[in-house]
Structure 1
Amino acid sequence: MDHALKILEREFRSEPGSFLLRLRCELVWDRGSFSELERAMRAVCAGMREAEELPRWLAEGYYHVATDVPSWTAHPGFPRPEPAEYYAACIERLTDLADWFFRGEHVYIEPHTWPEL
């Protein structure tokens, strides 16, 4: 989980080259960077399943991603990735991951396989 936390720290700080910084400033949806972010978010959710307390920086990051990414990309002029189903699945995944992070469990019946996006 340490590697995933490092990825999230980089992303949530919007460091140069991060998915979030490129999305916001360059209007670029980088599929590879999104997949890396999404996998890290999943790993941290699984690793913190039993946590009684959540670090503020992580909580703020999950909230930020789940609320701001859909907002930023909702603009009609935003160059959304194709196909539309991929984009919709990504936005849904971010919401699902934030929900999992805050609740400590996801809403899917086990065994559940998270499809790669």
Structure 2
Amino acid sequence: MSEDGFLLKLRTDLSWDRAALTRLDQAMRAVCEEYEAADQLDRDLAEGFHVLATSVPEWTSHPNFSRPEPESYYTACLERLSLLAYWFFTGGSPYIEGHVWPDL
């Protein structure tokens, strides 16, 4: 799910790679669109979406996590991960058709 090391860097270095998150966000949205009408979910993808929605908030709450961006940025990112997991697991976007996802 995160071939470029977003999760590894976050988990081991407690640092956030903004560009990697943007790529991950775009990939997750593409997967959600592809699986919207699916009867079954891929187990590996499901695990990835679950880890992103549950573990990233935990890791970023660590006292040693570097936060060079405003707090509102991290809040928006964590909300995005949660919304994408919702979309993936339910098969329906949390937004009406035509919604434009803002850049993170």
Pair in the same fold by TM > 0.5: yes
The question of 1:22 aligning with 2:26 is answered no
Tell me how large the CA RMSD over aligned residues is: 1.2
Large movers: runs of 4+ above 3 Å:
none
- 1:43 partner letter: A
Which residue of structure 2 lines up, in the alignment, with residue 105 of structure 1? 92
The question of 1:87 aligning with 2:50 is answered no
Bigger Cα displacement from structure 2, 70-79 vs 39-48:
70-79
Ranked by relative contact order (alpha carbons within 8 Å, sequence separation 6 or more), the top structure is: 2
Bigger Cα displacement from structure 2, 105-114 vs 23-32:
105-114
State the identity %: 55
Which residue of structure 2 lines up, in the alignment, with residue 76 of structure 1? 63
How many equivalent residue pairs? 104
Asked if 2 retains the 8 angstrom alpha-carbon contact of 1:81 and 1:87, the reply is no
TM-score, normalised to structure 1, is 0.84
Which residue of structure 1 lines up, in the alignment, with residue 50 of structure 2? 63
TM-score, normalised to structure 2, is 0.94
- 1:39 partner letter: Q
Describe the SS at the equivalent of 1:58: helix
Q: Which runs of 5+ in 1 are unaligned?
A: 1-7
